[in-house]
Amino acid sequence: MNGDGSGGGGLQASARGWLTLQLAVLGFVGLCGALKSGGGTSAPRTVEAVAGVLVLLALAVACAATYLVARTAWPLFGAPGTDGDAAAARRLRVGIGLTFVAVALTAAAATAAWWPEPEQESGRSAGLVEVATSSGTWCGALRPGTEGAVRLRASGQSVDVPLAGVLSVTPVAACR
């Protein structure tokens, strides 16, 4: 390896190629961090906090990896790191490994965005009630209705049940 940084040697060329990939990883981690700051997931606060820490950790690991590979790609004459091909190859291997760790940490942090929504918030079963009357039982989602009646969306149709005939109204997870 040349100590003048002129690009001699296959190790420096390989390091420069990896450095391009690492800069893309840094951009990806930064983008994920910026998108994460938008929030809006239904994940518990603890999961979101862990995801935020993972993004910051991924950024730190990606920066360390970039430093190690850059020292191999462009060694400075007389500076630490011009200590031979074995040390430079070791720095390149560690830097590449840390790059993959940064990508894995970013992927782990991104899983918080795919947290499932609770059923009440998603609208799939929000507001489902069972209304018992003397003539039968209706089950469906509550809807705005007329005065003096409970309106349900049951079996694809709107049903108005007069309040005078209602015996009970019970929240349910699903209609039978």
pLDDT, tens digit (0-9, with 9 covering 90-100), for 69-116: 998 888 876 555 456 788 889 999 999 999 999 989 988 888 877 777
* pLDDT tens digits along 121-153: 444 445 789 999 888 888 988 888 788 888 888
Task: Name, of 15-24, 43-52, 94-103, the range with top average pLDDT.
Answer: 94-103
Q: Parse the chain into domains and list their residue ranges.
A: 10-114, 119-171
Query: What's the CA gap between 157 and 48, in Å, rounded?
Result: 40
User: How far from chain centre, in Å, is Cα 104?
Assistant: 12
Amino acid making up residue 73: A
* Better-predicted residue by pLDDT, 21 or 9: 21
For domain 119-171, the CATH class is mainly beta
* Per-residue pLDDT at 100: 93
Residue 135 pLDDT: 87
pLDDT at 106: 86
What SS3 class is residue 104?
Answer: helix
pLDDT of residue 68: 92
Are the CB atoms for 41 and 109 separated by under 8 Å? no
Give the mean pLDDT of the chain: 80
Distance, in Å, from the CA atom of 106 to the CA atom of 28, rounded to the nearest integer, reads: 9
Q: Is the pLDDT of residue 120 over 60?
A: no
Find the mean pLDDT for residues 57-72.
Answer: 91
Of the candidate ranges 24-28, 41-45, 66-70, 78-82, the one whose mean pLDDT is the lowest: 78-82
